[in-house]
Chain A
Amino acid sequence: MGQQNGQAGNGQAISVEQIRRWLLAYAHRIIEQEEYLTALDADIGDADHGTNMRRGLEKVKERLEDPDCPCNSVGSLLRSVAMTLISAVGGAAGPLYGTFFLRAATSCNNSPAITPAQFAAMLRQGLEGVKQRGKAHLDDKTMVDSIQPAVEALEAAIGQHKDLRQALHEAAEAARRGMEHTAEIPARKGRASYLGPRSIGHQDPGATSAYYLFETAAQVLATPAHRRESPSRHR
């Protein structure tokens, strides 16, 4: 549990402002990819994943841009994102992403900045939450297939004291490979599982929307914190 401010670890702290920008970037990415995500869901599901996610992330974007957004700690920011998604998304993705952010939030209460190791621990908590909520494992062809390899790659890179930019890059690459791998396997969870082997050849929509989390993290969080104003003075 991260109570102390993150100066330790790989020498780079991630501020709550950076987390806010990451999630804003994620929201933009989802909104921009709505049609694509829905088309993927049309192949093996019920053609609503893009619509569901866009609706939720538009609300998240509003929330993150609101000056009253609780930006004094990473935990409260994530909790607010979680509640917004739970209220707005519906379907399977709402509870899953809601649980992801809610569980991530509980691992970094009250911290205005976190270390890379704490960031990895936070995503690990989120992953475990998703797996518990959906009772899914690796290779069930779900969002777990991009989140789990990404979290493992991030943990490994940080364990080897690689710098944050490199660690995030490796996590995003692992997420991308995991996402692409979902096209090669049959679905065992979610609506697509009713297709059995007929789901092979189609990439999982949830694994795709989850990949964007790591893609945008690598783009936004790799910028070192010292290039910004002091995060603690930020609202």
Chain B
Amino acid sequence: MSGVALAPGRSITASLEGMVLAYPDLLQFHRDPDYVAWAVPPTEEKVAVISGSGSGHEPLPVGYVGPGMLDAACPGRVFTSPSPVQLVAATRAVAQEAGAVYVVKNYAGGVMTAEMALDLLGDEAIPVRTVLVNDDVAIPDPARRRGLGAAVLASKIAGAAAQAGLPLDQVADLAERMVQNTRSLGVATDACTLARAGIREPLPPDQVEWGVGIHGEPGQVRPLPKDPVLLLEEMAEALRADLELRPGEPLLLMLSSLGGTPQAELYWAFRHLHRTLQAMGLSIARHLVGTFITCLGRGGWIATLARMDGQLLELWDAPVHTPVLHW
């Protein structure tokens, strides 16, 4: 990673201004407290979908703001969850009586921030449901699993359900169903040098780190197999086993770069993941390959596999207009 402009705790204001400048038709940046919302607010009353996140995971969360997905995103500083005051301001701005869904990745800071925002909102007439995202199979205990790619999927499903005019509880239930049927795994091919502290040892070229989080949380350092394809096969198996998938179930596969992986290596990994899953008799109904959730500029991938059903597929396919997802 470069570390010219970004380091843990650093302000990302200029970066956000750049992003909004790049998508003026979609995004509007509100300052103090900071949040990003639609450039043109929705006309009809609906449930609002809001997500806060530390920065350094771009395009998450701001890249998913727009019709059919998030109504507002509250970016914190690099690797630091936003302040509750940002969530409160965004909620007051974009949510009405229909209420709001908070999509919250399962990290101590994020969870406490959402709880505190609810305390501060007190008995204002905005009902809120929090959807906790915990899809990281690297952590055995589901209650402690970190939020990874399922944050993108749950935001898409919630946004589509809200756009369809469903009430708060249904929107939140659907997003939760998406999370429950999603698993992710991060594997890094180089170290996450936290630029400011400069603390992590570089990862030797013949090693990978298995089960990394998106804040440079260390995983398990392992030798790179002689045939690197084995790595992807193992990733596919870890996700399949945890989801207890059976042949024939329609799946969604999302492969994200951790931020510093060359495109060629991303597609190489996608090919092998896809093939492995097919060889297991599984059918990939939808897929996404690209940069969706990152750890600054780290090398490696986050593979996200989800079991879909008719309703989830329909919501997935519903129109979306955000900087990152648009169809």
Contacts and interface: CB of A to CB of B under 8 A. Distances in A.
Contacts, number: 101
A42 B83 contact: no
B8 A51 contact: yes
Contacts of A134: 108, 112
A48 B9 contact: yes
A66 to B, nearest CB: 18
Contacts of B113: 90, 94-95
Interface in A153-177: none
B80 A133 contact: no
Given A92-B81, A189-B108, A194-B213, A38 B115 contact: no
Contact of B80 (A43, A90, A193): A90
Given A46-B215, A48-B9, A86 B84 contact: yes
Interface in B95-126: 107-109, 112-113, 115-116, 120
Interface residues of A, number: 32
Interface stretch (B193-201, B230-238, B273-281): B193-201
A99 B119 CA distance: 10
A26 to B, nearest CB: 20
B199 A91 contact: no
Q: Which 8 A-B pairs have the closest CB atoms?
A: A51-B9, A95-B112, A47-B197, A42-B197, A92-B109, A48-B9, A48-B8, A95-B116
8 contacts: A48-B9, A48-B80, A52-B80, A86-B83, A94-B83, A94-B109, A134-B112, A194-B218
Interface of A: 38-39, 42-43, 46-48, 51-52, 55, 86-96, 98-99, 133-134, 189-191, 193-195, 198
Given A90-B82, A90-B83, 20 more contacts: A39-B197, A42-B194, A42-B197, A43-B199, A46-B194, A46-B215, A46-B216, A51-B8, A51-B10, A52-B77, A86-B85, A87-B85, A92-B109, A93-B109, A94-B84, A95-B84, A95-B113, A189-B108, A194-B213, A195-B218
